[in-house]
Each structure stands twice: as structure tokens, then as C-alpha cells.
Chain A
């Protein structure tokens, strides 16, 4: 488990990360979402031990990370623009990483290289941006660390490759309990992969929740009530996060379980009602609007 407590980091008098506290549970996919400059990369660089926090702590399985080889053995960090040695190829990078990470699986690496159609002898300098990210991910996966930290790694990958990498993550999570931590500025990138999401904004955490919890506890209902009194009766005691009205058609976003919502609306005198599925985007919009942020501007562009 990665525990981040009251993490703060300032660059040139600008607070890049401000009192961030997050817990990343093992064997889950943790998504770190935020706009450019929100502090995602800084948090990841502190988790990976590259940066020393000004204050606060980062521990990996209760071991402080900064300047600690034992903690770093558990992590593999893929920066947003990963570095490869000049004039090197995949083979050379494998030799370097397999010399550093004790459990690096060389056979697996070359197998994956083939699967992803990456030439082990070709100079990395001639790779496309996407191919470089694939290579970095494969090196990270094959390093067999407990945690893999990916900074905007899925940006630039085509859907097929993204799916391939996600499959690899799923396999590694299942087989050896890998915990991927993925930072992205795009919520849609993470929707189908993350178990837990932390939303960073201006260096602080706006929210950090399990996706399942979020999905189960927020419902969207469209309905037409017979009378205004019926509407009040159906909604009494429920936390309404959002309400829209188009003629007699009402759309509510409410915090409750699907079963409870369905029961409430069934009991009320309605002309029509339907509990609709919510996208991750909609859940975020609702959750962040509650705390006063216009999430559309922040991460959906």
C-alpha cells in the first residue's frame, strides 16, 4: 500500500502540491486525474522517490521512499516523456533495467516485444511517441515491481495498444498483484480501467474515491410526476445533487443506491420514470459541482 500523508512541494515559491493525502491500496488501479499543472506529475515523482517532499510523507508498504533503495525496488516509474539512452535499442534498455531490477523477466519482455510488434534491435530514437510509451510500459511491467507509476502514459496510444496494455495490467494484477497508478489529465482515459480515482486540482485533492462506490451511490433518474406533491414525496430525505427540468420531464442526480431510488420512484405516482446509468464523467461532474468546482472546465475541456 502506498500512503501519502500531507504531502507538500513548492517550486520557486509556487505550491505544486499542497497537503495531499491519498492512500493507494494494493492490487487496484489508481487513477490520478487533474488538469495540467494540477500536481499529478509532482505527486508521482514524489511517490517514485525522484523528488523530496518539502513536508509530508510517502511510504510504500510502510517504507519511506525518498533516498531508499528498498522502497524503490517496489516501484517502477514511467515519466510522461520517458528517457532512453542515446542510440540505444530495446535490448540495451532491457540489459540496463534487468541489471537494476532483481525480478526483471527478460523472457517475458522479449515475448511482449514481439506481441506488440516492437523490434528489439531498432534504435529507440526512430520509434514513434506511442511506441516509446509501449516500450516504457513493457519495461515497467517486466520489471515485476509491485507498483507501476504511469504519468500520462496512455496518452498517444492507439485504442488497440491501450487495450493490449490494459489486458497486460489485468493479467499482472491477477497473477502477482500489480498495482498500477495512472496519472492523466483526461478522465475518459481512465474510465474503463481505474478502480479508484483521486482528483487533483491546484495541488490539492478534491476527492479520492472508489469508482464502484461512486457509481453505486449516485443515480440519475428521469421521470414525469403526476403532481408536484408526488415529486416532493418521492424526493423527501434524498440528497439531490442536480436537478434539470424540460417541460414536465425532470432529470435528477441523487445520492443513493439504485434499489432505493427505484423503490422510491415506484412508490410515487409517476407518469413515467427510469433510472439511467451514469458515466464516470457525469459522476465527477456531480461530485465536484457539489464542492463548488466546474469540473467540465478542469478535466473535460
Chain B
């Protein structure tokens, strides 16, 4: 008799028993690709019918984008990938859960490796066939509606590879979970643990650090999972989807292809080794390998109990005793629960008390490492000799952009551009911060620091310092006066090319908005850079900006630059362009000034009102019943008000915030016939009084009636 015991026959036989998986996979993929594509394309057609696209090219581009979004890097595909990995992975090897099936499959003369491979490859075939078929249908549908070109096909190809590798990672994770367990529910739990463990661990460490370490800072260095492909996928799919060129997409995805392929290969190898060693009697049990039960218990119970404790910590307003008690109780209950799960028997809760003790001890150690800062996290200030350079951020008000004129974060930009080698002033500030208490500071400000060590390691920390402290002022001047600081804080310093591409420029003193010639971009840059050379902390602390330059680049990228009265070169340019107007307004141009007094200082006398207290803003309480507004129309009144007010639209980030009175709002209306170039698209302009400089007649006019 001819042997039909070929690989192909085994594969076909296996597929026969996976028909429902084929159906589920096909339906899911068609819904995910074809369904979403249909919605996207019809939406574009509808918008076109409504006249949303002015040109045919815009409509065409939208069609391409819709196809690309649906069939390429689709950011809502993850649930489908997870679902398919679970169904295909678990169903394929599900015979391992059932003794009857194990008896049959393991007694027949089929090589173990072949059986593993047949089931594994059939899973891949199911995914590939259903995905490719759905993509093919999608491409045909899109082509019929003129939504496909070469570039779109390339994006679809990259997206296919991106999703395939993610599927492989998930699929292999599920297979490994099946190999280590003997019960479907436990498999799901194990797969979830594998997929999320690193992510959860990082989250937990972050939570502990933020709770117990004062200098913990995620501004420059964020604690992110290194191996979790799932985290990459969640974080990067949307990011890559936003990229505009194929080359950038390829550059953005390439490192992940390699990493994910490696993770997938590793998971598969471990899964295969476990399959080889898996005892048949594991069918129906919780865990396939009893020897790892205790270790698994410890590594699950410790983070779970610590996480529970930290939840209580946040809910209990930082009660450390309660937190520790919760963690210990969580450890005891968690250990007992794991034993019950292992044996499916309540009586097993007190089994393996040694490992339960290890788990509880581990919980206590973790707690004290963070709560008592046993490793000296907050004390960390690197030695000057070990430092290569530092970067720091005092505020996040500066804009940064990339070559495509897309915004990038302050942290990203500063990290890349600021390399201050004279590190001593910053180290002194850091040391000083350890001796000082925030409560004792009159104007505490947070500083984000990145230490670049000679070893190549980067360490991020933050600490508070008092802007009112004269020693700090001197140290900050040394830092801010450096060219490296300017290079890392003002993109205008490093980015010459952008200023060749200025679309428009305006200057505003808070009320005006005067256009400047776009071709003056380079000249303005040169003037401003000269002024920046004499810019330091003392200047910014003691002087408010007298205006702001707003520069618009391609891609609707806006850039703001504060102008101070000491910026002679910039002001000279503005004057030459007839754009400079002092911040103080001329009473002749004013029609009326409305002052609103909120009387927030009387809040407690009236009723309990919420008082919003933040570190960088004054307390403020609002109650409609005690708000008094008064409008002034007289020239003499204007003359007394205008010298003591400052426009809301100008920011003085480092200036002492207490110098403006938040209890008053000032609303200025200009005369319609004035020649003053106030921004006519505004009805009025908001200002604030300087603290303690509110004219007496204003106070009287806006006083509360008894």
C-alpha cells in the first residue's frame, strides 16, 4: 500500500479540523481591510460631493490616502491581530489540553517536530491567505475607484510586513503560553502576562519612582519597555502612518522589523523546546511544567501586589503604612490564589509556603528600595569628571520643528541639540537642590536635566530651585549665557535653512499685529541672534517682553520669539520696517477700558469655593455673585490705567508671576477711527494690572456693594 504519510497530507488533514478558524480569520480580515477601506473611500467620495476638495489633485490625494490608511498602516488593526493570534495559536495546539486527544496524537507514529511544524505553518497559512486575499480584494476595489498608485502599493506592502511581524510575535507568544499551560483560561492568562509583563513592570517602576523619588523625571529619559513589540506597535503604528514619504516610512519601520523578527524567533524557539519537553500528562492541568510553578508565582505575585499597594497609595493620599500592609496582604493572598489556580483546589492555598514567603519578602524589599530610597536615587548627582555634557530645560515654551516643518517636542529637540560642557554651575544647582526644601522657596521652578556620562549612559533628573535666590540667578546666568544653551533652546540659532523659507512674519506688542516682509526672514534672524548673545536669566527675570515676533513656515508651522526692550538689533530692524510699537498704549487711541474685579480674596467670607492652586499660578477663586465690572471712558482715567497694565497675549515665562494681579481683567477697546495698527480682527484686548499698582479709582469703582 502506498504511504500517504507526507507532510502535505498531514497539513491537509490538519486544515480539515481548522475550518472554523479559516472562516473566523477570513471574516475578520475582510472586515478589517475591505470593510474599513469601503468606509474610508465612501467618506472621501461624500466629502468630495460636498465640495471639500477644491482641486481634482486634492481629491485624488485623499483617495490614495484613504486606501493607504485602510490597507497599509491601520492603527485599529491590533485587536484583530491579537484575536487571530489567540484563535489560531490556541486552536492549533488545543489537543494538548485534552487527555483523550493527547493519547491519540502522541501514540500515532508522527514525528513530534513534524506535528509542531505542520500545526505552526498551517496557522501562518491561515493568516497569510486570509490577509492577502482581503488585501487583494481591497486593492481591486480601491483601483476601481482610482485609489491606488505605486506609492500606495509600497505602503500597503510595508504595512503588510509590519502587521505580519506583529502577528508572528503575538502568535508565538500564544504558542509559548499553550506549551507552558494545560488549560485554556490559564493559557490566556499566560499569553496576556507574556505580552504585557514588561510593559506593566515599567509602568509599576515609573509609578514607584514618581511616588517616592523627588528627582524622578521622565522628560528626557522615559522608562519604556525595551523588548515589548506590543508597546512598539501601539506607539509607532500611528506615528509611521503620519510620515509622508515612503523613504521615511521605510526608515521608521526597518529597526522594528529586525527587532520583532528576533523576538518572534526567540519565542518560537522557546515554544518549540517546551513542546519537545512537555509531558503528555500536562493535559488539563494549569501548568505543564510543575518545576517552574514557584518561580512563576513569585514573578507574578510581586508586581501584582506592589501594583495593588500603589493603587492604595494613590487612593489613600500617600499613606505608606497602609500601602505596605496592602502589598503584604496582596502577596499572601496572591500566593495562595496562585496555588489554588495551579491545583484547581482551594485546599492547596497553603502549599509551597517557602516560595510564598519569598514573594512576600520580595514585595517588602521592593517597597523599601523605593520608599526609603535604598539605592540613593534622589541623591544622585554625577561627578564632574564623569560627565561629558548636560542638557536642561527650564520651560517648554519654545517651538522646535524637523526638516518637514513638523513640530517636535522640546525634550527631543533639546536632547539632540544642547550639549553644555561647562557642567559645574548645573552640578552646583543640583547639589544645592538637595539641601533646600520646595516649601521654603518663594518662586520654585522645576528644571529638567539630562546628564550625559562619559560612559555613554544618559541619566534624566528634575529638581526644584528658587528663581528668587540670587545664588541661583548667578548660576543660571552662567548656564543660559552659553552658546550651547542658546543652540539647544532657540531653533533660530541652529536652523538657517528654515529662515530662507519663511512664509510670513508679524510683530505684536499685545495689541498690534504688523506684517513684516517674508523675505526679511534671514535679516531678522541675524538681528535676533545678536540680541540673544546678551540674553541671560537676569534679563528675563527682571524684564517683561515688549512684544512677540511670529514667524510662519511651510506646513502651517508657527514660531514665536519674545522681544525685549534691550534687544536693540531686533528693535532697530522692526523700527526700520515700521512695525515696532511700544507695549504701552497711547490714551488717544483708546475708546474704553473695562475692568473686571473678581474679588477672589473674599471667597472664604462668602462661601466655600474651589481654590485652584498650582505651583506656577496664583490662587484664584471665581464666584459670579461677587464679580464687579466697570467701564471707563475718560482720557484721564486711561492715562492712569495704561502705564500699569500688561497684555495677556505676551508671556513672561521667567518673570515673577506674582507681579501681575490675577484678580482683575482688563478689556481694552480701540477707537474705530484711530490710525493705530491694532489687530482689527479682534474686538478687544485683554490686559492685567501689575500687582499693587491698581489705581485707586479703579478699586473704588469695582468695589463690592454691601
Partner-B contacts on A (CB < 8 A): 11, 45, 48-52, 67, 69-70, 72-73, 75-77, 79, 81-83, 85-86, 92, 95-106
State whether A100 touches B109 (Cβ < 8 A).
yes
Shortest Cβ distance from B181 into chain A, in angstroms? 16
Q: How far is the CA of A85 from the CA of B112 in the complex (A)?
A: 19
State whether A83 touches B13 (Cβ < 8 A).
no
Q: How far is the CA of A86 from the CA of B281 in the complex (A)?
A: 22
* Known pairs A77-B107, A95-B13; A50 contacts B102 (CB<8 A): yes
Q: Does B280 contact A (CB under 8 A)?
A: yes
Q: Does B17 contact A (CB under 8 A)?
A: yes
State whether A99 touches B9 (Cβ < 8 A).
yes
Contact of B107 among A50, A95, A102 (CB under 8 A): A50
Which residues from chain B contact A98 at a C-beta distance below 8 Å? 4
Shortest Cβ distance from A9 into chain B, in angstroms? 9
Q: Does B634 contact A (CB under 8 A)?
A: no
* Known pairs A100-B5, A103-B1; A83 contacts B280 (CB<8 A): no
State whether B112 touches A67 (Cβ < 8 A).
yes
State whether A100 touches B110 (Cβ < 8 A).
yes
Shortest Cβ distance from B390 into chain A, in angstroms? 60
State whether A48 touches B107 (Cβ < 8 A).
yes
* Known pairs A79-B103, A101-B109; A96 contacts B1 (CB<8 A): no
State whether B5 touches A99 (Cβ < 8 A).
yes
State whether A69 touches B109 (Cβ < 8 A).
yes
Shortest Cβ distance from B656 into chain A, in angstroms? 73
Shortest Cβ distance from B109 into chain A, in angstroms? 4
Which residues from chain B contact A99 at a C-beta distance below 8 Å? 4-5, 9-10, 13
* Known pairs A69-B110, A72-B108; A105 contacts B1 (CB<8 A): yes
Q: Does B682 contact A (CB under 8 A)?
A: no
State whether A49 touches B107 (Cβ < 8 A).
yes
Q: How far is the CA of A102 from the CA of B5 in the complex (A)?
A: 7
* Known pairs A51-B280, A52-B279, A69-B111; A85 contacts B17 (CB<8 A): yes
The A/B interface has a contact count, at CB < 8 Å, of 72
Q: Does B347 contact A (CB under 8 A)?
A: no
State whether B13 touches A72 (Cβ < 8 A).
no
Shortest Cβ distance from B584 into chain A, in angstroms? 87
27 example contacts (A-B, Cβ-Cβ < 8 A) are as follows: A11-B281, A45-B107, A45-B280, A50-B103, A50-B106, A69-B111, A72-B108, A72-B109, A77-B103, A77-B107, A79-B100, A79-B104, A79-B107, A81-B100, A82-B103, A83-B98, A86-B17, A92-B16, A98-B4, A99-B13, A100-B5, A100-B108, A101-B108, A102-B1, A102-B3, A102-B5, A104-B1
Q: How far is the CA of A236 from the CA of B103 in the complex (A)?
A: 53
Shortest Cβ distance from B105 into chain A, in angstroms? 8
When C-beta atoms are compared, the residue in chain A nearest to B111 turns out to be A69
Q: How far is the CA of A85 from the CA of B104 in the complex (A)?
A: 10
Residues 326-383 (chain B) with a chain A CB within 8 angstroms: none
State whether B100 touches A72 (Cβ < 8 A).
no
Q: Is the interface of B mostly helix, strand, loop or mixed?
A: helix
Which residues from chain B contact A79 at a C-beta distance below 8 Å? 100, 103-104, 107
When C-beta atoms are compared, the residue in chain B nearest to A65 turns out to be B107
Which residues from chain A contact B98 at a C-beta distance below 8 Å? 83
Which residues from chain A contact B110 at a C-beta distance below 8 Å? 69, 100
Which residues from chain A contact B13 at a C-beta distance below 8 Å? 95-96, 99
When C-beta atoms are compared, the residue in chain B nearest to A67 turns out to be B112
When C-beta atoms are compared, the residue in chain A nearest to B103 turns out to be A79
Q: Closest 5 interchain pairs by CB? A: A72-B109, A77-B107, A83-B100, A48-B107, A79-B103
Pick the most buried of A79, A81, A82: most chain B CB atoms within 10 A of its CB.
Answer: A79
When C-beta atoms are compared, the residue in chain B nearest to A12 turns out to be B290
B residues contacting the other copy or chain, number (CB 8 A)? 25
Apart from the given pairs A77-B107, A102-B1, 6 other A-B contacts in the complex at a CB distance below 8 Å? A48-B103, A48-B107, A67-B112, A86-B17, A99-B10, A100-B5
Q: How far is the CA of A84 from the CA of B112 in the complex (A)?
A: 20
Chain B positions 88 through 107: 1 when the CB is less than 8 Å from some CB of chain A, otherwise 0: 00000000001011111011
Which residues from chain B contact A96 at a C-beta distance below 8 Å? 13
When C-beta atoms are compared, the residue in chain A nearest to B3 turns out to be A102
Which residues from chain B contact A102 at a C-beta distance below 8 Å? 1, 3, 5
When C-beta atoms are compared, the residue in chain B nearest to A104 turns out to be B1
State whether B280 touches A50 (Cβ < 8 A).
yes
State whether B104 touches A83 (Cβ < 8 A).
yes
Shortest Cβ distance from B281 into chain A, in angstroms? 6
State whether B1 touches A49 (Cβ < 8 A).
no
Shortest Cβ distance from A192 into chain B, in angstroms? 27
Q: How far is the CA of A97 from the CA of B5 in the complex (A)?
A: 9
Which residues from chain A contact B281 at a C-beta distance below 8 Å? 11, 51
Residues 608-646 (chain B) with a chain A CB within 8 angstroms: none
Which residues from chain A contact B10 at a C-beta distance below 8 Å? 99
Chain B positions 105 through 123: 1 when the CB is less than 8 Å from some CB of chain A, otherwise 0: 0111111100000000000
State whether A49 touches B104 (Cβ < 8 A).
no
Which residues from chain A contact B108 at a C-beta distance below 8 Å? 72, 97, 100-101
Shortest Cβ distance from A14 into chain B, in angstroms? 12
Shortest Cβ distance from B616 into chain A, in angstroms? 63
When C-beta atoms are compared, the residue in chain B nearest to A149 turns out to be B107
Q: How far is the CA of A99 from the CA of B106 in the complex (A)?
A: 15
Shortest Cβ distance from B98 into chain A, in angstroms? 8
Shortest Cβ distance from B217 into chain A, in angstroms? 51
Residues 1-57 (chain B) with a chain A CB within 8 angstroms: 1, 3-5, 9-10, 13, 16-17
Contact of B109 among A45, A73, A83, A105 (CB under 8 A): A73
Q: How far is the CA of A48 from the CA of B106 in the complex (A)?
A: 8
Shortest Cβ distance from A52 into chain B, in angstroms? 6
Q: How far is the CA of A51 from the CA of B280 in the complex (A)?
A: 6
Shortest Cβ distance from B439 into chain A, in angstroms? 60
When C-beta atoms are compared, the residue in chain B nearest to A151 turns out to be B103
When C-beta atoms are compared, the residue in chain A nearest to B12 turns out to be A99
Q: How far is the CA of A104 from the CA of B112 in the complex (A)?
A: 21
Shortest Cβ distance from B511 into chain A, in angstroms? 79
Shortest Cβ distance from A70 into chain B, in angstroms? 8
Shortest Cβ distance from B74 into chain A, in angstroms? 34
Which residues from chain B contact A51 at a C-beta distance below 8 Å? 279-281
State whether B1 touches A75 (Cβ < 8 A).
no
When C-beta atoms are compared, the residue in chain A nearest to B290 turns out to be A12
Shortest Cβ distance from A46 into chain B, in angstroms? 10
Q: How far is the CA of A14 from the CA of B9 in the complex (A)?
A: 40
When C-beta atoms are compared, the residue in chain B nearest to A83 turns out to be B100
When C-beta atoms are compared, the residue in chain A nearest to B6 turns out to be A99
Q: How far is the CA of A105 from the CA of B1 in the complex (A)?
A: 8
Q: How far is the CA of A120 from the CA of B281 in the complex (A)?
A: 32
Q: How far is the CA of A98 from the CA of B4 in the complex (A)?
A: 7
Q: How far is the CA of A280 from the CA of B106 in the complex (A)?
A: 35
Residues 256-271 (chain B) with a chain A CB within 8 angstroms: none
When C-beta atoms are compared, the residue in chain A nearest to B276 turns out to be A67
Q: How far is the CA of A75 from the CA of B110 in the complex (A)?
A: 12
Which residues from chain A contact B109 at a C-beta distance below 8 Å? 69-70, 72-73, 75, 100-101
Shortest Cβ distance from B123 into chain A, in angstroms? 18
Q: How far is the CA of A72 from the CA of B112 in the complex (A)?
A: 12
Which residues from chain B contact A100 at a C-beta distance below 8 Å? 5, 108-110
Which residues from chain A contact B111 at a C-beta distance below 8 Å? 69
Shortest Cβ distance from B289 into chain A, in angstroms? 13
Q: How far is the CA of A103 from the CA of B100 in the complex (A)?
A: 24
When C-beta atoms are compared, the residue in chain B nearest to A106 turns out to be B1
